[in-house]
Amino acid sequence: MRNRSRRTVRTLSPLLWLALAIGASSAVAAPDCTVALWGDSILYGGFGASTTNRIKEPPAVALKRIRPAWTIADYSMPGDSAHRRLPSFVLQPMPARVVVLQYGINDAGNRYPYQPALRAMVDYAKAAGKTPIITGLSQVRAGRMPLRDEYDTIARRVASEEGALFADWGAVRFDPADMADDIHPLQPYSTRLVERLALALDEVAPECAEPARQG
């Protein structure tokens, strides 16, 4: 009986180790699909003077629909800018893998010093071991923001110099009819911007890129 017991232990032990190895492998394989959205009313999906004015599917909601694997923390705020947000941004914990920075519209509109603020945000995210994505500036109706192109160029340059991904929102198809006003997108344009952001996220983490199931 004693010998039989020893043989049983020898038989079960490799199976136990195999089960533990499979469990450990599954835990390691789980992808980190976490993203934090920092930006202004464009990323918030807002328009008008009240924060209750919001398109039906705000960007965070649209992104979750388009790329359901991502867990999204939405810190966007109407009226926000890189210049104003920087002092509190660099005090924030950075738990998400990807940090999206969608600033520039209000910086341009107020002639804020955009470049140093945006660069500092990117540096802070990178120092925390995160991957920053700069969206660049979305389009506005002609003549409504003279510094829009200049600030978009700044965003592109900061992304290039700091090694951040540039989503290039300015290159997304723009139709003035898809605007709530001179600056804020209605649903069609907002959704196109989110689709461009999703492609940037795919580049960072292809393992998180499974699209939403149809039907």
pLDDT tens per residue, range 9-46: 444 455 555 555 555 444 566 899 999 999 999 999 99
Q: Which domain holds residue 21?
A: 1-30
Averaged confidence pLDDT in the chain: 90
Kindly state whether residues 73 and 179 are assigned to the same domain: yes
Q: What is the pLDDT of residue 9?
A: 42
Kindly state whether residues 117 and 145 are assigned to the same domain: yes
Higher pLDDT, residue 28 or 207: 207
Q: What is the pLDDT of residue 30?
A: 85
Q: What is the pLDDT of residue 12?
A: 46
Cα separation, 8 vs 42, in Å, equals 65
Confidence grade of residue 51 (pLDDT, cut at 50, 70, 90):
confident
Beta-carbon contacts of residue 154 (< 8 Å; ≥ 6 apart)? 104, 114, 115, 118
Q: Is the pLDDT of residue 121 over 70?
A: yes
Q: What is the pLDDT of residue 213?
A: 64
| Cβ atoms 131, 163 nearer than 8 A | no
Q: Kind and range of the H or E element at 98?
A: strand 98-102
Residue carrying the six token digits 């989503």: 167
User: Which amino acid, 102?
Assistant: Q
Q: What is the mean pLDDT of residues 175-200?
A: 98
Instruction: For residue 55, tell me if it sits in a domain.
Output: yes
Instruction: For residue 215, tell me if it sits in a domain.
Output: no
Q: Is the pLDDT of residue 202 over 60?
A: yes
pTM of the model: 0.86
State how many domains the chain has: 2
| Cβ atoms 71, 37 nearer than 8 A | no
Kindly state whether residues 77 and 90 are assigned to the same domain: yes
Q: Which DSSP category does 185 fall into?
A: B
Q: What is the pLDDT of residue 214?
A: 56
Kindly state whether residues 6 and 59 are assigned to the same domain: no
